[in-house]
Amino acid sequence: MTTFEEAYELTGHGRFNHLALFTNGFILLYATTECLGLGYVLNTADCDLHVSIGERGAISAATFIGVVAPAIVWGYLGDKYGRRKTMLPATVLAVLFSFLSSLSTNFWSMFLLRIITGTLISASCATAYVYLGELTSPSRRAASIAWGSAFIAGSYLAMPLFAWILLPLKFSVGDGTLKIRPWRVLMWAYTIWGSMSCVGMAILPESPSYLLATKGGPETLAVLAKIYSWNQKKTAAEYPIKEILCPAINIPKFKESLARMKLMLKPPLLRCVVISHISNFMVFMQSNAFYVWLPHIVDELLRHGPKKPGLSMCQIMNDIHNNIEMVLDECVPAEMDTGIYPIASCVGIITAILYAAIAFGMKRGWAKAIMYCKMVFKLVLFPYSRY
């Protein structure tokens, strides 16, 4: 008989934890790729979808709309029904709807399917961190979550590499409005990470912490014994703990959860909520919004920049889009300048290095200092970004 934390530590660290890390890491990689990978897709899909620059922006935003809108509901469902029971079916459906969106032939079908895809991805975006942490012993939890975040950095490298391999290919299969071109295959390739995470979740059990909070000790012990057998290469019967002291805790109902959220809108939490939300909004607006348009911006600069020496990036982009005249009936599928791929890959490498540095600093308690330096750095450099 012992406490839950001590019982968890006795399971050790090994194969089970590696599977949990890669499964949840692939979930995070998949979510990031689905949100930001359209920057490469839409740059070559204009003719097939018959979309303008503004409609391309709306399609890129659609996935984010789906991610943000139902986030609170998914969080509650994860608490009520379990992490795995919420994430696994949602991720399977996200892969399915992502595939269906790749078969879109117009703006509205793509826009609506991307919203649905984003809504399903939302179930796993934040829950993956919780699930990963709860599948790891307390002493290794922080390091495990930091390693999971590294998969997000990997997505910034995987997206341009996949695009580098597939988009330069020249093929068109099919007749009529639906033609299979490289950009559709690229969207299929992006779903690989989601499919791999589904396989991992099918093998992994429910979170022991969730089981303890909702169903008590016996079912929790069964999962801990399974983790023990995986890590120690022994049978589950050899797990030395037979009873856990921690009592079960009932999960609040949805109305009770909303009532508790009201506390964030009142002092003393209100000040912290406002500061943290504004800070996160600014960070994600500048980073994710820029990366969505990075392939288009760099592609246009590589094509037209040398012809317009002395002009800033904003002036070049303004001139280009003021002179665009697209005749859809005679549209020629766009081909991206191959110079964009090494540039985007370098951005991915730098992002990975920065993620590693941030994870290193977080482990040493530098969270506030890192956030402050990041915001100051962005504000100082932002006025010069147009050059």
Q: What is the mean pLDDT of the chain?
A: 84
Q: What is the pLDDT of residue 3?
A: 84
pTM of the model: 0.85
Higher pLDDT, 155 or 309: 155
Q: What is the pLDDT of residue 329?
A: 45
Distance of CA 385 to the CA centre of its chain: 26
Given a contact cutoff of 8 angstroms between Cβ atoms, the answer to whether 15 and 257 are in contact is no
Higher pLDDT, 46 or 93: 93
* pLDDT interval class at 363 (50, 70, 90): low
pLDDT at 317 over 70: yes
Q: What is the pLDDT of residue 328?
A: 43
- Lowest mean pLDDT segment, chosen from 186-195, 223-232, 262-271, 325-334: 325-334
Q: Which of 47-61, 185-199, 246-260, 347-361 holds the top average pLDDT? A: 185-199
Would you kindly state where each structural domain of the chain is located, as residue ranges?
A: 14-207+279-384
Q: What percent of the chain has pLDDT over 70?
A: 90
The set of long-range contacts for 60-63, using a CB threshold of 8 Å and a minimum separation of 24, is 60/292, 60/293, 62/110, 62/111, 62/112, 62/114, 62/115, 62/118, 63/34, 63/35, 63/38, 63/114, 63/115, 63/117, 63/118, 63/121
User: Which residue, chain included where needed, has tokens 């990075």?
Assistant: 294
CA distance 371 to 350: 18
Q: What is the pLDDT of residues 55-68, one digit of tens each?
A: 888 998 999 999 98
Buried b or exposed e, range 4-34, using 16+ CB within 10 angstroms: beebbebbbbeebbebbbbbbbbbbbbbbbb
Higher pLDDT, 87 or 175: 87
pLDDT at 94 over 80: yes
Q: What is the pLDDT of residue 285?
A: 77
Q: What is the pLDDT of residue 288?
A: 75
Q: What is the pLDDT of residue 382?
A: 61
Q: What is the pLDDT of residue 384?
A: 56
Treating both helix axes as pointing N-terminal to C-terminal, what angle do 83-101 and 107-125 enclose, rounded to 10 degrees?
Answer: 160
Q: What is the pLDDT of residue 323?
A: 64
Q: What is the pLDDT of residues 100-116, one digit of tens each?
A: 999 999 999 999 999 99
CA distance 370 to 23: 28
Given a contact cutoff of 8 angstroms between Cβ atoms, the answer to whether 110 and 97 are in contact is no
Q: What is the pLDDT of residue 249?
A: 61
With vertex at residue 126, the alpha carbon angle to CA 120 and CA 131, rounded to the nearest 5 degrees, is: 105
Q: What is the pLDDT of residues 189-210, one digit of tens each?
A: 999 999 999 999 999 999 998 8
Q: What is the three-class DSSP state of 142? A: helix
Q: What is the three-class DSSP state of 244? A: strand
Q: What is the pLDDT of residues 112-154, one digit of tens each?
A: 999 999 999 999 887 899 999 999 988 888 778 878 888 888 8
CA distance 113 to 33: 16
Q: What percent of the chain has pLDDT over 90?
A: 32
pLDDT at 385 over 80: no
pLDDT at 214 over 60: yes
Give the fold, CATH level 3, of 14-207+279-384. Answer: Growth Hormone; Chain: A; (1.20.1250)
